[in-house]
Amino acid sequence: MAIPDFQQLMLPILEFAADGNEHSLQETVGVLAGQFHLTDEERKHLLPSGIQSTFHNRVGWAKTYLTKAGLLEPTRRGRFRITDEGRAALAERPEAIDIEFLKRYPSFVEFRAARRTPPPPDDGNGGDEKTPVEMLEESYQSLRSELASDLLEQVQKCSPQFFERLVVDLLVTMGYGGTRLDAGKAIGGTGDEGIDGTIKEDRLGLDVVYIQAKRWKGPVGRPEIQKFAGALQGQRAKKGIFITTSSFSSDAREYVSRIDSKIILIDGEELADLMIDHDVGVSTIAKYDLKRVDMDYFSEDE
């Protein structure tokens, strides 16, 4: 089954806590994952940031919302238990507990009103299905995708000489080529719609990487990659990077996977991502640090 959204987890969490014992979030995650028959893949599925599992995030926010409504209460560090209010809610035998249900509790209404950003549009099922972290990460990914598209559009418009400098800047920023001067001397001048050359794999020049870049609009096919592989052999080179502003055909990618030479294919989408990751051609307009309470700091144990 699909990973349940955080509202679907509220009632199961409250039912799990109905025994009156203290429970940890980690314990709750494990119990509910079994209850919902999640596969290993679903249990390990990560948020776009890759820092936390989606299911763990949703269980955590479901617990937070129940706590803000007064149905659960924190006990000692990292532990919680059900409240009398929570038992009363279960006594009603509700079919589900969601945001709409929690609106009956003044403390939850105050919590929602105190949020500095407005809630997302109602999904027609009683409220938003995504946790605040999921909404933040999806917004970030959407903005990043739009930036990548705009960035690639600019790259495709630039002159061959500027594209040559762009590739040098990117590779040096990624740690190749030593200095921009060294990289600039080694690259450029032989291609019509791109650049060809060599660059040091590291600052010491322990190995050399052969580079070809093409500002194409159509997919780069296997014949072009075969020519590049032949050029590598002619230079007695073992490693190569082929960069294009477009894409690679499936035949081209399959060919690369079967030859002895190590050739890395970087298409337009990955080129834009690398430029964003390494701050080439982009500038930061805002930065937000996502933080959480440091429980170690508040521990009073000797």
Res 122: pLDDT: 44
Interacting residues of 64 by C-beta distance below 8 A, sequence separation 6+: none
Task: Specify the residue for token string 């502003």.
Answer: 245
CA distances from 27 to 45, 66, 82, 153 (A): 18, 17, 15, 48
What domains can be seen in the chain, in order of their start residue? 10-118 (1.10.10), 153-277 (3.40.1340.10)
Closest CA to 53 of 68, 38, 64: 38
Interacting residues of 24 by C-beta distance below 8 A, sequence separation 6+: 78, 79
CA distances from 171 to 15, 166, 216, 251 (A): 55, 9, 20, 26
Interacting residues of 188 by C-beta distance below 8 A, sequence separation 6+: 164, 168, 195, 196, 197
How many Å apart are CA 15 and CA 172, to the nearest integer? 56
**Tokens encoding 244:** 């294009």
Contact 230, 197 (CB under 8 A): no
Note the pLDDT tens digit of each residue in 50-63: 888 999 999 999 99
Enter the pTM of the model: 0.67
Res 301: pLDDT: 57
Closest CA to 276 of 150, 181, 182, 120: 150
- Burial of 299 per CB tally in 10 Å (0-12, 13-18, 19+): exposed
Res 230: pLDDT: 87
Q: Which helix (H) or strand (E) holds 159?
A: none
Ranges of the chain with pLDDT below 50? 117-127, 189-194
Res 194: pLDDT: 41
Res 192: pLDDT: 39
